[in-house]
Amino acid sequence: MTMNQPNGLLVIDKPQGITSFDAVAAVRGALHIKKVGHAGTLDPMATGALVIAFGHATRLLNAIVEHDKTYEATIRLGMGTTTDDAEGQLIDVRHGGSVTDMTQSAIQQVIEARFTGDIEQVPNTFSAIKINGKRAYDLAREGKAVELKARPVHISEFTVLAVRQGYVAGECAGEPLQMADWAEPQNSDSAVPVMDVDVRVSCSSGTYIRALARDLGQELGVGGHLVRLRRTRVGRFALPDDTSGLIGDEDMTATENHTVSAHSETKTFTNREGETVTRNKCVLDTPVELSGDERRAWLLGRALSMEQAARGAMPSLDITPEEAAELRFGRRIERSVDMPAVAIVPQTHDVVAIVERANSHQAKPATVFPAE
């Protein structure tokens, strides 16, 4: 029996230790559909909101990718790493500063003076940016020199939520913080004083939070890197724990009931070369008693509909059934639009097309969706 192709969107709460592609593969397998994609990669180290579209809704992903985002993160001040996060090698980049002299208010003042509004940011060399067709992180791992240009980004909020002072042994990145009063002497001469700073950042698409951690540490003269990263919001799609206050109650109601959590499990298999490989896979947290078509139906029940996905992805334009027919024939309609918008028939919830400005009084179809 052939099942109808579903169309919609899920907000997956991605766990640590899996890739965004792993999460896409989990949704693809659970829904039994090939056409699945995500709106913006999260590193394996990061957790949080991963917007995954399926069916015709995948055509909305390019718009969602450009949305602003909110992250909650922990920046460790006092040492840097080669990757600007906890997965790199420790490097000493201190130059005159001392974490023992810092306060939460002083750090916030530096942030507001240097790292809010429109700023220029140089991405880390271990990023996914392409240079002559190759990823920067591949070039960096090959030992080749990687020079990335500064790019403009916008930081609408960069708030210090809490600070914790303590020590680490300084043997590797990501060590647990040993809470202690800096005034208390340490038994080990190798103990390194550090400060973990919890922050919330709302920013434009393309912003690297790792680079913010690095640059804040450099500005303070002590070095810094990212030890925790959680994305709580992508545009109007947010997790229930988002505290940015940047989406309204209507958006929250539409999103929090459609979030699906997940966890990672270890999978061991033999590859084509006969080698035994162990890696993490993404497992969606569905009711344990469900499997097969019942599990698929449960997930579809948690998904945002095609109309909800479209209205969350971009500006919407309510049209008549007659205008819908014109757009589906590739014709213009007498509507004025200043930016791309999704045309929807509200009576039938039919998502018809993405339209764009043709002239001062007409809109033309840029992308037409098949009738469901």
CA distance 267 to 264: 9
| 85, 32: one domain | no
Helix (H) or strand (E) holding 249: helix 249-256
CATH number at 349 reads 2.30.130.10
- The one catalytic residue in 43, 84, 196, 242 is 43
Q: What are phi and psi of 25, to 5 degrees?
A: -65, -35
250 pLDDT band, cuts 50/70/90, is: low
pTM of the model: 0.90
106 part of a folded domain: yes
Residues 148 and 273 in one domain: no
pLDDT digits (tens, 9 = 90+) for 171-217: 889 899 988 776 665 655 668 899 999 999 999 999 999 999 999 99
Q: Do residues 205 and 75 both lie within one domain?
A: yes
Range from 138-142, 309-313, 318-322, 326-330 carrying the lowest mean pLDDT? 138-142
Cα–Cα distance between 36 and 56 in angstroms, integer?
Answer: 9
Q: What is the CATH number of the domain that holds 213?
A: 3.30.2350.10
Q: What is the mean pLDDT of the chain?
A: 90
The answer to whether 114 and 224 have CB atoms below 8 angstroms apart is no
| pLDDT at residue 53, as a whole number | 97
Last residue of a domain, one of 229, 259, 280: 229
At 351, list the tokens. Answer: 């998502």
pLDDT at 22: 96
> What is the enclosing helix (H) or strand (E) of 24?
helix 20-31
Domain assignment present for residue 133? The answer is yes
Are residues 186 and 277 both part of a single domain? no
Q: Which residues pair with 341 in a beta bridge?
A: 355
No. of helices (H) and no. of strands (E), the chain: 9, 20
142 pLDDT more than 70: no
Question: What is the CB-side half-sphere exposure of residue 30 using CA atoms within 13 A?
Answer: 29
| pLDDT of amino acid 246 | 83
Q: For 21, list phi and psi in degrees, rounded to 5.
A: -65, -35
- Point out the domain boundary residue: 302, 335, 350: 302
Residue 123 inside a domain? The answer is yes
Average pLDDT over residues 334-339: 96
Q: Are 122 and 153 in contact (CB under 8 A)?
A: no
- Crossing angle of helices 104-114 and 209-220, in 10° steps, is 110
Higher pLDDT pick, 188 / 316: 316
Q: Which domain holds residue 136?
A: 69-229
Phi/psi-derived region of residue 309, left when phi > 0, alpha when psi is between -120 and 50, beta in every other case: alpha
Condensed to tens digits (0 to 9), the pLDDT of residues 36-59 reads 999 988 989 999 999 999 999 999
Q: Tally the domains of the chain.
A: 3
> Cβ distance 232 to 68 under 8 Å?
no
> How does 283-304 read in b/e, with b if 16+ C-beta sit within 10 Å?
bbebeeeeeeeebbeebeeebb
**What pLDDT sits at residue 141?**
59
**Token couple for 115:** 């790292």
Region 260-277: mean pLDDT is: 89
3 lies in some domain: no
User: Looking at residue 146, what is its pLDDT?
Assistant: 63
Active site residue 43: yes
Predicted confidence at residue 2, as pLDDT, reads 45
Q: Which residue has the tokens 């009084």?
A: 361
Chain position carrying tokens 């450009």? 66
Residues 6 or more apart from 224 whose CB is under 8 A from it? 75, 76, 77, 78, 79, 80, 213, 214, 215, 216, 217, 218
